Each structure stands twice: as C-alpha cells, then as structure tokens.
Copies of this chain bind each other. A is one copy, B any other.
Amino acid sequence: MTRPKMLGIDFQIWASSHQSRFEDQLQQLLPQPDIAPQRLHAAMRYSVLDGGKRVRPLLAFAAGDLVGADSMRVSIVAAAVELIHAYSLVHDDMPCMDNDVLRRGKPTCHVEYDDATALLVGDSLQSLAFQLLTEHQLSNDAVQQLAMIKLLATASGSRGMAGGQAIDLTSVGNQLSVPELEFMHIHKTGALIRAAVLLGAQCGSALGEVELARLDRYGKCVGLAFQVVDDVLDSEADTVTLGKTAGKDAKQDKPTYVTLLGVQAAKQMAAELHSEALEALAEFGEPARRLCEMANFILLRKF
C-alpha cells in the first residue's frame, strides 16, 4: 500500500460541505443563548461551535455513506459524539488537568468564562449528547437504538475515553512501553473514534457481525493513527499552525509516540496503521470510498 500524497478534490468538496452543514446543525441542536441559564448556554456554544476539523463527525458520515444511511440520523449521532469530544476538551483544558489556555485558536472555556462554568459546560454537554440520542429516531428498531446509546456511553466512560484520561494522568513522568501507550490511547482517543464509525454505520440497515468487526478494526486503526499523527504534529508544528499549545506533551513530561519511538518511526507507524485501516475496508469495495479517504485525511493532516 503506497502512502497517499494528496486528497482528491471530490473528497475535499464532500468533507467541506458536510462540515458546513454539520456546523449549521450544531447551531440548532445546542441550547440557544437567550434561554436561561444564558451564561451557561453561551459558554456551551462557545466551546462547541466554530472549531475543529470535525474528524469524528466526518467519520460517522463516511460510515453512514457505506450503508446508505439516512443523513439526518447520521448527523444526530455525529453531533452526540462531537459533544462528548467537546466536553472532554473543556474538562481536559482545566487547571486541574492540562491547564491549557488555547484551543482551536481561541482562549479555552475556563479562561474565557471561569473554572466553575467550564466544569458545568462539560457536564451539560455530556447530558445533551444522550438527550439528542433519545429525542430523535436513529433506527427503525428502538432496541437497536438503545444499543447505539449504550455504545456511546461505554465509549465515553471509565472503560473508554474518561478511563484513558485517568491512565494518562498516572503516566505523567513515567516511562511507558509502546503497548502501554497504545492501551492508553485506545481508550483516550480511540474509543470515541471507533464509536463514531460504528454509530454512523448503525444508522443504516443492520450490518452482520463480520462487517461490524471489519469496521471496528478500521476504527481502531484510524483512532491510533490519529493519535500518532497528533504526537508528531505536537512535536513539529508551532502553536499558531496547531491552534493549540504546541510541544506541551514534552513540556509536561508525557510519554508520546515521538518520545518513545522518534519522529521517523512514529511516522512509519502511522503509515502502517493507515494501510491496515484500508485493508479492513477492502471487502466493502466502492461503498467504503469515503472511509478510505478519511483514513488518508487523518494520515495527511499537516505532515
């Protein structure tokens, strides 16, 4: 598998039109800023809107594309996943965690508002994610919809994303092995990315176990690749390009793929994960085109 050199214009149009429509949808789905409590709602909107490449939502849309899922349904699961992601960033940036002041080129929520508000913003975004998944029909089968909500709850909690962050906390200043680092990232970033892929696909007609397992392997690979690329970007880019504080992992003495493997080996690892992700999709053929392109997109962002 050769490494892709660039992203096709067709994909770029697909991605940017989905990003733009998704932004409009988030605008509608978040509580309006004139509804009480106004300050909390303004802070929730500040923390979610107008930011990020929306990688997880795009993965959900690409997975929905694979199965011809209803795009309105996919946009709801995409929003729920993105709200969980956004809440984790707000809490992660707080002084008691990473104490970061810059996110997506703007002051972080606790800097723009205050710590207590940031705490409540994260809490409320999580509740809103589950509210969205229950107030819209996402499947013709309500039992299947319950399973979808369970998937997101599990991916978010102590044995998913939040658990990964807990492992991250204990890793500061410790020498981790590559498998230990992988275990952390499979939880911290991977769980939610896998959930985005599976939930997008589950908005369509039911997939068999074999197909779901392939999709899950794809999700696992792009989730890890995403983190490896993140580590490389964090070590190479500057703060302005990144839109968040660069080099902070090294400064905080956090183990990364770059500190453990070196930049070249980390890039090689990302390329291998990329290949494995594409292999997992091979049997799907043409309908998996957007998922393939998303794997390229994740590998190629910024390096």
Contact = CB atoms under 8 A, between A and B. Distances in A.
A167 B124 contact: no
Given A134-B149, A135-B150, A142-B142, 17 more contacts: A37-B163, A37-B167, A40-B158, A87-B123, A91-B119, A97-B116, A117-B169, A119-B119, A122-B123, A124-B157, A124-B158, A127-B154, A131-B150, A131-B157, A134-B153, A142-B143, A142-B145
Given A126-B123, A127-B158, A134 B147 contact: yes
Interface residues of A, number: 53
| Dominant SS among interface residues on chain A | helix
A215 to B, nearest CB: 20
15 contacts: A31-B158, A37-B158, A37-B170, A91-B123, A96-B119, A117-B166, A119-B119, A120-B158, A120-B166, A123-B162, A127-B153, A134-B153, A141-B142, A145-B146, A149-B149
A173 B271 CA distance: 57
A134 B116 CA distance: 30
How many identical subunits does the complex contain?
Answer: 2
A94 B178 CA distance: 34
